[in-house]
Structure 1
């Protein structure tokens, strides 16, 4: 059975808002699995035992951009503290492009090997609040010291895909910005690790879920509003990306996605 752990998004410090989309925590209250949905983002996560005070150690995880769901085994008291990195900012924080992690994660030693600065985050901590503060400080320090700066047009291109809920084609985004399709392709891949088509599909998937769950539209109405060809098309995409049907959204965690 897939369970939703207690996922909570926290307040975001203004001086890291360019790099971080959300700071979040999650603690499981039972054994089972937690379903991670594709969101076109990369996260830096510290996994820890929430029952320990102080927390003796943590394991660092870097999640890459994925195009379909996966399940994470959880145990009672397993805690997670994470920062969700904005599209286009992954390289300035971690030093390598998200394409290197497409549909993959780095856990523990593999994550530290890719970015040695992460090792200090895993030292003993007083509590969960200290782990969150470490993550924020890490992003702040890395972004300030980084020589990488996102392409000025990248954020505008990403915003266009967001504003349309993934319904715009690459040719339309290119025309809006006076760019070639090849340039849009390059900007999106470098910023997100996904092709424009894959990134747009993820956004459309999330829009459909919001329309179904939060706005309580019927499947037929949600499919139309989200830009699918019909209800059956939407259902196929939701099953492929989420592993469930449009009628089973009760235990799904939907993260905040900003442009």
Structure 2
């Protein structure tokens, strides 16, 4: 499986987490299972070839909601995708449905709607996204990506704690604490995939009390241990075969 990811340029990163491409790299008759883990983002996805299944067959253009648990996906060997990873407030700014309405689920996106134009032309995603978000001010809670406490976010934004709670609930469908948990897990998954740091050090750097705490969160949110994620992950995907009993 060939996966590559392009980070957004400065100024667009308040809205877009990444643009990615995935080529399963097999034959049409081959099917592979992979697990996608929560990352606190909305995924707008165009499938250029092949087939994909998450519970039911997916259309060529669809969006996946915020995930609270791992999703086991099936791809045909010839499947190819381009995806845009959006922060929830960016998805809503583009006119997307409320996140609370399709948590741990996906929805078809109309081919004749404005969202489809973001993924119509190969290589033009950044240009189209820059145009879509041009002139928009920073969202009041965009700094939650870098701030790990509700009180600190309130001070940074100049809002009250209660206002921050309401805005986060409106944009994500969950409390600040629950959404921050997803972002902490996202950071830890990225660090674990890097592979150069001891798991105990990754746990400390990601804000977990210790490695055991991080392992519990990996199992709760990702359905696997940090060691397994390190061995089997490719971008946001993890090979979905049986996990060994011993953590790495």
Question: Structure 2 length as normaliser, TM-score?
Answer: 0.73
For residues 40 and 181 of structure 2, the distance between their equivalents in structure 1, rounded to whole angstroms, comes to 9
Match of 2:220 among 240, 243, 259: 240
Q: Is 1:45 aligned to 2:25, yes or no?
A: no
Structure-2 residue corresponding to 1:70: 71
Given that residues 45 and 63 in structure 2 are in contact (C-alpha distance below 8 angstroms), is that contact kept between their aligned partners in structure 1? yes
SS in 1 for 2:177: helix
Q: Which residue in 2 is equivalent to 1:251?
A: 232
Secondary structure of 2:233's counterpart equals: coil
Q: Give the drift of 1:29.
A: 2.3
Counterparts of 1:85-124 in structure 2 under 5 Å?
A: 85-107=86-108, 111-112=109-110, 117=113
1:162 aligns with 2:145: yes
Query: CA offsets, 1:30-65, max 9 Å, x none?
Result: 4211221111111211113269xxxxxx71111111
Shift of 1:250: 2.0
SS across alignment from 1:82: strand
Question: Distance between the aligned counterparts of 1:185 and 1:252, measured in 2?
Answer: 33
Q: 1:94 is paired with a residue of what secondary structure?
A: coil
Contact 2:61–2:116 (8 Å) recurs in 1: no
Alignment counterpart, residue 132 of structure 1, candidates 122, 129, 134: 122
Segments of 5+ residues of structure 1 without an aligned counterpart are: 52-57, 122-128
SS in structure 1 of the partner of residue 209 of structure 2: coil
Superposed CA RMSD: 3.5
Cα distance in 1 for residues equivalent to 2:214 and 2:159: 30
Contact 1:83 1:136 (C-alpha < 8 Å) held by counterparts: no
TM value normalised by structure 1: 0.70
1:84 to partner: Cα distance: 1.6
> Using the alignment, how far apart are the partners of 1:62 and 1:100 within structure 2?
12
> Unaligned regions of 5+ residues in structure 2, if any?
52-58, 237-248
SS at match of 2:224: coil
Are residues 139 and 93 of structure 1, via their aligned partners in 2, closer, same or farther at CA, if it must alter by over 3 Å? farther
Cα–Cα, structure 1 residues 12 and 169, in superposed 2: closer, same or farther, change >3 Å?
closer
Q: Deviation string for 1:192-226 (max 9, x for gaps)?
A: 44431122111211222333332533232222222
Equivalenced residues, count: 224
Distance 1:213 1:96, change over 3 A: closer
Report which of the two has the higher share of helix.
1
Do 2:89 and 2:139's aligned partners in 1 also have CA atoms closer than 8 Å? Answer: no
